[in-house]
Structure 1
């Protein structure tokens, strides 16, 4: 994710690059550091305003008041409210993916425990601070083609993680998972700009049916968990974290029985906690 204010990029006409921002120290900070500091204040303000007031009802003056900065400084870092919303969304998505990946890559956890931890990371991150869920699940929807593309890519990244979990719970560990996901469970990395690890299914692969089943199931599961979280936000049941986590984990365990049946790796029955 790009967390650098656009006026530090040399490609932006009429604005100084990182190498040309200069001036005297103020409060012990270089000019470029002050620009970054103001940028971060606007990111925090965006999370607060978009996550509570909502994007459609927000105004630049409100964002500036929340950040404690003037409109001059808003336009130092952003072209528009949508530009700020985009950066806020990418910040939230990146932070969430980093937490999910860290849980999946825990070297001391067994696979099923790592998967449960990754689901807990999603549910707690989104509902522990309902502003996150409001922005990710409500505020960015339908704003622009660019944001829709970013949203789809982020969803695909999470589907990649879910597909890896399905294959592991379905008894297809090690090289098979790496072959399909380009590195294995938790290997996709963070950031909504990174490409998801799901590779196109080769119809001639001996496990092509298994891979396609896992891919489609993972996509549907991500949508289902998203809707559970959206229901919690809209319905005011964000404190229902444990039950949502239980249902999400049972969904992936139940789905893994289909993987086992197709792959011949075990009985076609739901995995237990």
Structure 2
């Protein structure tokens, strides 16, 4: 898994063969197949681990935040961005390779988005909303915006500073979540 964590992040999932994974990990192909059905299954396991760790960090930050919408949103976004970007490989697997893998991670990606949308809805639940607004759809929209900000951080020639990412994401979330 350690070898895949690095190789799937760069050169990327599509460019990483099982032979290269096994060589990097110093294991035989047979040993690999005793653990995983293929490189897709390994990518899914890595992605799900990254998501679970991120969810735990964000949940804790939101729970410990001041009991205001602003406090919860700021704490959750800062925790997510700081945790995700603390290791570029994690950010790359969660926001670039998950998309490049095509159908391989479609269900895993949707489960992750669903879990994060649930966190947003939960953080927002005690606060007013504009009439007729579908909380679920708003949560999905702001999560998509946050994902695009992180992709920009990963791929831009001049990546934005983390504080700038946090500020923009907080702005988007609060604009979307307040009546």
Shorter-chain TM-score tier: 0.7 to 0.9
Partners of 2:98 and 2:11 in 1: CA distance: 13
Match of 1:66 among 13, 21, 24: 24
Partners of 2:44 and 2:94 in 1: CA distance: 10
Q: Does 2:25 match 1:104?
A: no
Match of 1:253 among 149, 154, 174: 174
Partners of 2:147 and 2:50 in 1: CA distance: 15
Partners of 1:119 and 1:50 in 2: CA distance: 25
Partners of 1:230 and 1:142 in 2: CA distance: 12
Q: Does 2:142 match 1:221?
A: yes
Q: What TM-score does the superposition give when structure 2 sets the normalisation length?
A: 0.87
Partners of 1:166 and 1:143 in 2: CA distance: 32
C-alpha RMSD over aligned residues: 2.2
Q: Structure 1 residues 255 and 144 mapped into 2: Cα distance closer, same or farther (>3 Å)?
A: closer
Match of 1:209 among 93, 114, 132: 132
Where in structure 1 are there 5+ consecutive unaligned residues? 1-42, 173-206, 259-273
Q: What TM-score does the superposition give when structure 1 sets the normalisation length?
A: 0.59
Matched with 2:13 is 55
Matched with 1:232 is 153
Partners of 1:89 and 1:54 in 2: CA distance: 13
Q: Does 2:53 match 1:132?
A: no
Cα deviation, residue 48, structure 1: 0.7
Mapping of residues 1-273 of structure 1, within 5 Å: 43-106=1-64, 109-111=65-67, 112-141=70-99, 143=101, 145=103, 147-168=105-126, 170-171=127-128, 209-210=132-133, 212=134, 214-238=135-159, 240-258=161-179
Partners of 1:85 and 1:47 in 2: CA distance: 8
Runs of at least 4 residues of structure 1 off by over 6 A?
Answer: none
Where in structure 2 are there 5+ consecutive unaligned residues? none
Larger radius of gyration: 1
User: How many residue pairs get matched?
Assistant: 177
- Bigger relative contact order (CA 8 A; separation at least 6): 2
Partners of 1:122 and 1:157 in 2: CA distance: 13
Partners of 2:76 and 2:158 in 1: CA distance: 21
